[in-house]
Amino acid sequence: MAEHAYFLARKLLTLGACAPPRVSAKSAPSTSFINKESMNDKLNVPILLGTAREGRQSEKVAKFVLVEAHQYGFDSQLIDVRDYLTTLIDKTKHDTPWAGIVKKANGLIIVSPEYNHGYPGELKLLLDSLYKEYLDLPIGICGVSGGLVGGARVAMALEPVLIEIGARVVRPINLFPQVQNLFDATGNPIDPKITDKLKLMFDNIIKFAR
């Protein structure tokens, strides 16, 4: 259901009055790939939790993705947008902790809930605090919602933003619908199949890792 909603939304965007985001030359796919078996060092792929709201259900997804990333072999840490809100107010500071994280990253995974068909404002503030640092950075999207759509619309909203800042949007998009029913009390997924598409996304982050 969630996947169908996402691809239907993409089709409607293409056919509707709003044109789909144009892919610039700097975000065109690369022909060079990284072989996972040949890597000497673990890739640095932070997990960004994009909401500061109290009671956020998407934190469960972010922690789950972090565990899966570690098991896959990434060097990952959970980045909480809450920890960076005060540094976003002063636009004169360019050498921020977030800038240091992005500069060192080989890839990035954003876990974002869908609020009113869009992304949280604090996530947009954090992304907009940098620009050139994102060039060619492969970014995966995990959309989260309490409904059946599973964050498909927040994924749709984030894609043109990421393309504009020069990042590479990595497929497949991972959607987590009805998040309140996805995990048990210990944070483990009730349906183990939800890890399948995550691993495909991890594979593609490796292909485009910078």
Tokens 């210990």 belong to: 186
> How confident is the model over 92-125, as pLDDT tens digits?
556 789 999 999 999 999 999 999 999 999 999 9
Please give the distance of CA 115 from its chain centroid, rounded to a whole number: 16
Q: CA-CA distance, 107 to 209, in Å (whole number)?
A: 6
What CATH number should be reported for the domain whose range is 2-10+44-87+94-208? 3.40.50.360
Cβ(194)–Cβ(182) below 8 Å: yes
pLDDT one-digit tens code per residue, 177-208 = 999 999 998 888 998 888 888 999 999 999 99
- pTM of the shown model: 0.81
Distances (CA, A) of 162 to 21, 32, 40, 88, 189: 10, 21, 29, 18, 28
